[in-house]
Structure 1
């Protein structure tokens, strides 16, 4: 068979081919320069000689490289486009169709595929967009990557052939292939973008929406292959309308909506259903997904939207195996128990893979299928919540296909929404109770809104997540009120402490310019300021006690001033007993810790002794100093409504002064406050045999997917900064491990309220300092070893490692 010259290509395709030729020529020229620089920086003589030899050959035969690349590319493009003529009308054949090929041809194909993979990773979205335009230009009827004449494999073949024409020695070919391939891969992304822009400017529209109707066999399984029924929609106007969210309820060409089969119910064509995967939507799309894949996801998702999600099963989820499949798509996954809902991705795996356009999408489909095998068999997730999470399988797959950060970012809204549902369900002991039924109903409602809504948009998940957290906050508030309104008492106590903290800062600032010893200034600012504040908060600012506490502060400052005359010494000795009495009374009132009291008096007594030996102040200096001290100690106590907004960075300062001593016995009993002194911090903690090891980033890293962020702490001191309302924790109280649920966190995260007990709910409150100490000493940890998706990823990774190739 002899090939003749290719028929003339369409003008738009010819222009695109010319851009690729220019990119290849530019890559070769850049390679000549880069080889010279690499040779200069090489320390190995043989390596440097190899680089210089490759540079010499390429520079000498640059024209041959360009000519061979152009000819090979033209032949391959014409063949792929079906425009390559043959003599005698014999069918054209390429080496792929032969049963025997030489080793050299195999090496060429492997090198071309390796180069194509490098381009595909760098230009995946540009190539997908080009597939849609080529489907229209060459009248394929759909975006078919395997028939795109400018796909990476075609360009890779042309490049390898051109390198062969330049160099005869294998080592030189290897160097040139690597260097030119690297340069060309960097140039292809803007080249593909320019080609798409040219096609768009020429009036060519991408292939529109495709709705594929797939019949089901008697067993309810989707059938595929040549016998499948495909109802395809190729209206470019429909593509434009769907991308802008203005497609009518019936759809183009009178396509009537329905709740099953291949039809779409009202709202099926949201802003994310266009050929650009939602690029024209009103919100923020989670990356781009091909129109065919998006249509399939919406059809499958809406076919399940009317299912009775509250039943023991999940009717309407489509047929398919009830068990897991792992990554191979069939059979029961090793180590998995009975799934609590059908795995839709496994049931429709072949349809999804056919709609996908690349190996990366195939991998994502298999990974998500395996994740839901693990999710739907997780023993910590109640079946009621597992069935709600199962309804989100296709929206989660949409997020994973379009947004690589789904696998890497633990703050991704879709991940957080799934993890919140699972963790909140784990904390419920009885779904037949009022709070359990209310939570399940709210989750079912939010999930239904996601499935029926435009799950292509990031804002949808953020909105539903905020709605779920607001519901949990209201429910927790109602439960705390029913158990004694501990949140109100703790809220008032926290405001009092914030007022004391603010007053301490203001008083310390007023004392700074005064000639006061450092230990005394620190005592007045940190300790005695709380005595004054407590007196005014309890008895009022005009009370005798409040005025006396301010007078004690003034007398304390003047008591350490030099007293050089007998009259001053006599006056000091006369006032000292009452001063010491009032000091001790104030410190007792605020329950000052004994170490603080002892340290202060250890410094005050020598200061008093030293003041009897110094040079006395003049009357004017004494009066001026007394007036300044009176002015500083007259600093008014701020009111609660005058406090600045809560500043998280100031919390450690506030938490350092908060302790159980700030509560009376009645107050501590009312809120169930745990006293630090009541815990044997040196005692051993019983081992919890049911505890699982904490996961690390290594446990979540699946080869081929983005590297995940570090997991949130589930134990240790840092857990105190990550506790969340409605979540369950394990706490070692009453000499045993108890499952507790966080019900309230004060505005400044100073106080935390937990509840425990199945029937008789008990309230346990603690300060931030107490909570941190409990976490640090291993007396408190999260009920889950990791969030649901992280647990599922770790198990899927272990399962993948155990699979052996057939």
Structure 2
């Protein structure tokens, strides 16, 4: 394996590679457009159907008109997509598809959108196949250019799906008829693969010419996979389900009787029906459900009598499929099977929780017969139970961490009760959910109070910071700060606005006095060379300094910080008394003055805000990368902490409340959930299963992510991702289907 540098000397080559790839995107689309125009021209000559001929003709004309703009837009959009790929490296591994569907959107999107997803997925596979030879070399070179010693394919933002996703986005921005858009996607997608290959070869040559050698390959993955599909595409559970069948199920359309399961006797036809959004077993289904119970008992009896006779779960699934009387029931059973298969294959979910989910499957399958669409209704107790269990389970990085056994014990008991009850309605799930929530919350009541106290501290700081920012803008707009010494101007616009804002929020009687002190302070810094002026200054300065000290301490500044600033202010007053002419402040002196002020009074947030020491303590505020002896890269990628993958500029980490992340702190990796994001987007608060808190700015969160010390575990509900995987599997089976 070639040893690669772990400092930042290689990073310019990486940044240049990303820029070159984006610039080449223009030529990629230009050549693809030219090829598509030629292809469509040939097709136009062969077209005999009038409607098809008109559509092809319109597609050619509009592509000719918009081709240049399409190529230009693609280049810029490609650069933005590269940036997003870097920022979400842990959430979007290379196996994620550019053409995936959201299960929850299946009812809302039309046939054109479905066909578009099919075309994009087809393009995804075609481009991936075209670059099969070049991509491993590009991955190795790009990783090496980032300072990595071993290949992590997900660290390469120039992956094929990024090009396909960008094509879909850019084509969607043009105001053309939907059939034309589909033709563009279809034919541009076919032409994209060879052009991406050409771009890859050029980038590979450039990186090698700059002296970059390929990083080595490793066997074990070092970053958590995003379980949108639970497993890479090739390992997804097999199914014959199609998007068309899913849409009909979710729409509740009347359907004919279900075909009998393989190897089962034909089911008796049942009248067509529609499905309610969430209903318990209807009276007319009682006999069917009794038959189902009998089938379940037969399977379990056979398993007890012959423990090694086969997979009991597979037998149960076949028995339930044989008992299904409606197509919706058969589809619902298949969706539940795929959903559970995906969840138990999710590497983020610990094995004991995966086992509990597997044990819950029989009860969910029975529920699917009574209510085939329960999983699509977020308000259904069974769906809420799944969401709650999976979401809470993500709090633990390993089964040995504190609190996990307290979480798992009640869960196993609830699952056993549901699995042995033969439930077909919502009530047992509602009871189980309430019992679990009460049990878990009772154990976490103290931790919840700590979390609420931390959140209150941050809310207080956020309110003060927002008001202080408005006050600072007013002072900056006035004529006075421009005449003040730079460090005093920074003090008034920063810490002193914090003092005024806190007094106003608290309704303190000193608030007007603090606001009125500003012109008085500025006056004291004018030249006072005459004896009369000096005497007047000597009289007015002590009460002003006392008010300054009182205000700073009321906001949480320590005595040491206040004394340091007062000494600096005293030096300024002494200088003004010795001068007959005021020194003219220069705007370029403000940055240095701001840095000096932060050395005296402590660091401000990058947004100009500030946290009092008590607020920082209560919320576990982090103001810098944690000092840790652990390398920021995995053991297969040794390197100093300063070695970070270079992201494109000004691309913050995308997090939202509820997201789970892993943080590398002094004691190693641990799981944290983003519990709160401030309205002004200046503060984030993370909590863990023990109720501990860490708060930070979005900028620090992005820096931690780029340094490899923060990685996204889950950006949303895992059950949503499992159902999206069902939609993806159905989409894979829909290649030949025209909606």
TM-score for the superposition, normalised by structure 1 = 0.39
- Larger RCO (CA under 8 A, 6+ residues apart): 2
TM-score for the superposition, normalised by structure 2 = 0.42
Higher gyration radius (CA): 1
